[in-house]
Amino acid sequence: MTAPSDPDRRERRPLRVALLGCGVVGTEVAHGLLENSAELAARAGAPLEVVGIAVRDASREREGVPAALLTEDAEALVDAADVVVELMGGIEPARTLILRALERGASVVTANKQLLAEQGPVLFEAADTARADLSFEAAVAGAIPIVRPVRESLAGDQVQRVLGIVNGTTNYVLDEMTTQGLDLEDVVKRAQELGYAEADPTADVDGYDAAAKAAILASLAFHTRVSIHQVAREGIRHITRDDVEWARRTGYVLKLLAIAERTDEGVAARVHPALVPTDHPLAAVRGAFNAVFVEAEGAGPLMFYGQGAGGRPTASAVLGDVVSAARDRLIGGKGPHESAYASLPVLAADAAITRYQVRLEVADRTGVLAQVAGVLADHGVSIDTVRQSEALTAAFEAEPASEPAPGAVRDEGEPVARLVITTHAAREASLAATVSALRDLEPVRQITSVLRVEGV
Ligand SMILES: NC(=O)C1=CN([C@@H]2O[C@H](COP(=O)(O)OP(=O)(O)OC[C@H]3O[C@@H](n4cnc5c(N)ncnc54)[C@H](O)[C@@H]3O)[C@@H](O)[C@H]2O)C=CC1
Ligand SMILES: N[C@@H](CC=O)C(=O)O
Ligand code: NA
């Protein structure tokens, strides 16, 4: 007769952990595994032995990381591990190494949102086939537990909407621009030094990183595969100090938001800068912190807040996944497998419905306001508020006039009025057509900015 399977009688041999990558996050994970080994062993149920760390240059010293652990042979390291922790980033060789690990039955922990958002289905299928864990808490909103709550705790509910700040770098940049009056480029450099930015910070500034996270959250929340290519994306590269200042003067703060929604027609995900009222909780999210609101039918509104970037905070989420994967291995089981996907339609970007703030410069003549209002009305875009003229113009006395749009006629002596129009909710497609028509309107000298307004 076979002995009953009693987890407490299983052999507690050390679990071999391989790290791939020893950068900002990898270094902190290595420190955590090496310095807290006794505590982690007690929590996991077996010692977690670091068998090696794959790096590009093994001859380079890394503080607090024994040189003997460094190797340039990532494949051999993967083949020697029970748990593979991928912290190299990028698509290749991360993808091949993760698949190799899963095919061998090793558990995988990764922080690689880019890979998950582009190639998630391949990886999840490999994990399910191998009955091995593929965990990625660090891939969305750094230290904040958000993947596990959406994937597991809300698995019995119907999530309707996920909205939040999921990129620490851009939140830090916009915050510094708002509070210190700095330019975008200077603050991005600082974000790199602080370990918040991706290896190529374009991924942060142009919204790719947030779009990857939005795709992951939308997939988990709506049980529908959403890839990064289906997320409408606009970054913060075009945001100027002027935009930030106008936001402040009109009662808002600029934030890069990720929004995923489920409607009767399907699901939609988008990432863009948005004006958030100064009294909205998201306005108070400073520095590299992130915050995510989830609305579910049964649970109602939920809010998650914490550090979204940086080595230590991200390593916390990675280490949590490592302990969890170790526990699953010790009982011979696997964490959650992927949902049988509902495959709801993923909607096009221009289906989104939002409020907008449009700033423009017009010839300061009688009747211009009516002409502008007429263009909005013609496109079915209803105006909420219009601010015009002296008060706003006077506030900018010291400010140099902005460059006119290419082709715009600007008479040197002509008085120009600034208008700030806030709309009621309108379809993205209607707003785009409105802006295009405004550009062609004779008295319009410049469309200074078009920003969405959220959280009103
Ligand atoms: N830094 C952060 O705040 C966060 C980062 N992440 C993710 O964590 C992962 C790692 O990010 P960081 O540590 O910030 O990046 P990093 O650029 O500091 O570290 C990556 C390391 O991997 C190494 N590497 C790359 N390709 C390699 C290869 N083929 N063989 C050996 N080593 C290789 C690089 O030399 C570098 O040292 C990325 O997927 C990133 O998106 C996730 C959440 C937060
Ligand atoms: N570059 C990312 C790091 C965490 O995911 C960010 O700034 O949020
Ligand atoms: Na997280």
Q: Which domains does the chain have, with CATH numbers?
A: 7-142+313-330 (3.40.50.720), 147-309 (3.30.360.10), 352-453 (3.30.70.260)
- Provide the H-helix boundaries in 110-207: 113-130, 147-148, 168-180, 184-193, 202-205
Q: Closest ligand 1 atom to the C-alpha of 89?
A: 39
Pocket test for ligand 2, best of 24, 116, 137, 198 (most atoms within 8 A of CB): 198
What pLDDT is attached to residue 233?
Answer: 97
| Binding-site entries for L-homoserine | 198
| 3-class secondary structure, 49 | strand
Q: Of residues 189, 213, 255, 334, which has the active-site annotation?
A: 213
Instruction: Write out the two tokens for 11.
Output: 């052999």
What pLDDT is attached to residue 391?
Answer: 42
What pLDDT is attached to residue 438?
Answer: 97
Cα separation of 402 and 242, whole Å?
10
Cα separation of 83 and 325, whole Å?
7
> Atom 16 of ligand 1 has which residue's CA nearest to it?
23
Contact 83, 49 (CB under 8 A): no
What pLDDT is attached to residue 411?
Answer: 56
Amino acid identity of 48? L
Q: Closest ligand 2 atom to the C-alpha of 170?
A: 7
Q: How far is the CA of 99 from the centre of ligand 1 (A)?
A: 18
Cα separation of 174 and 234, whole Å?
15
pLDDT tens for residues 393-433? Answer: 434 443 444 444 443 445 556 789 999 999 999 999 999 99
Cα separation of 39 and 362, whole Å?
66
Query: ipTM surpassing 0.95, yes or no?
Result: yes
Pocket test for ligand 1, best of 314, 316, 321 (most atoms within 8 A of CB): 314
Amino acid identity of 215? A
What pLDDT is attached to residue 395?
Answer: 40
Contact 341, 225 (CB under 8 A): yes
What pLDDT is attached to residue 408?
Answer: 44
Q: How far is the CA of 83 from the centre of ligand 1 (A)?
A: 18
| DSSP strand pairing (15-20 vs 416-423) | unpaired
Bridge partner list, 385: 422
> Atom 4 of ligand 2 has which residue's CA nearest to it?
309
Cα separation of 32 and 35, whole Å?
5
Q: Which helix (H) or strand (E) holds 8?
A: none
Ligand closest to 26 (CA) is: 1
Alpha carbons within 13 angstroms on the beta-carbon side of residue 219 total 26
Q: Closest ligand 2 atom to the C-alpha of 141?
A: 5
CB atoms within 10 A of CB 128: 14
| Binding-site entries for NADP(+) | 20-27
What pLDDT is attached to residue 10?
Answer: 53
Q: How far is the CA of 334 from the centre of ligand 3 (A)?
A: 20
Q: How far is the CA of 292 from the centre of ligand 3 (A)?
A: 10
| Binding-site entries for NADPH | 113
- Determine phi and psi for 93, rounding to 5 degrees: -85, 10
What pLDDT is attached to residue 335?
Answer: 84
Which segments of the chain have a pLDDT < 70?
Answer: 1-11, 389-413
Q: How far is the CA of 197 from the centre of ligand 2 (A)?
A: 6
255 is catalytic: no
Q: How far is the CA of 218 from the centre of ligand 1 (A)?
A: 24
Enumerate residues lining ligand 2, CB below 6 A: 142, 167-169, 196-198, 204, 209, 308-309
Enumerate residues lining ligand 1, CB below 6 A: 21-26, 54-56, 74, 87-89, 93, 111-113, 138, 142, 195-196, 198-199, 309-310, 314
Pocket test for ligand 2, best of 204, 216, 228 (most atoms within 8 A of CB): 204
Cα separation of 133 and 115, whole Å?
16
Q: How far is the CA of 54 from the centre of ligand 2 (A)?
A: 22
Distances (CA, A) of 263 to 42, 340, 347: 45, 20, 9
- Beta-carbon contacts of residue 228 (< 8 Å; ≥ 6 apart): 114, 117, 118, 208, 211, 212, 215
Size of the chain in residues: 456
Contact 100, 199 (CB under 8 A): no
| Binding-site entries | 20-27, 113, 198
Pocket test for ligand 2, best of 25, 147, 166, 169 (most atoms within 8 A of CB): 169
Q: State the greatest distance between any 2 C-alpha atoms of the chain, in Å, as a whole number.
A: 99
Ligand closest to 19 (CA) is: 1
Contact 342, 222 (CB under 8 A): yes
Q: DSSP secondary structure string, 193-248? A: HTT-S-SSTHHHHTTHHHHHHHHHHHHHHHTS---GGGSEE--STT--HHHHHHHH
C-alpha gyration radius of the chain: 25
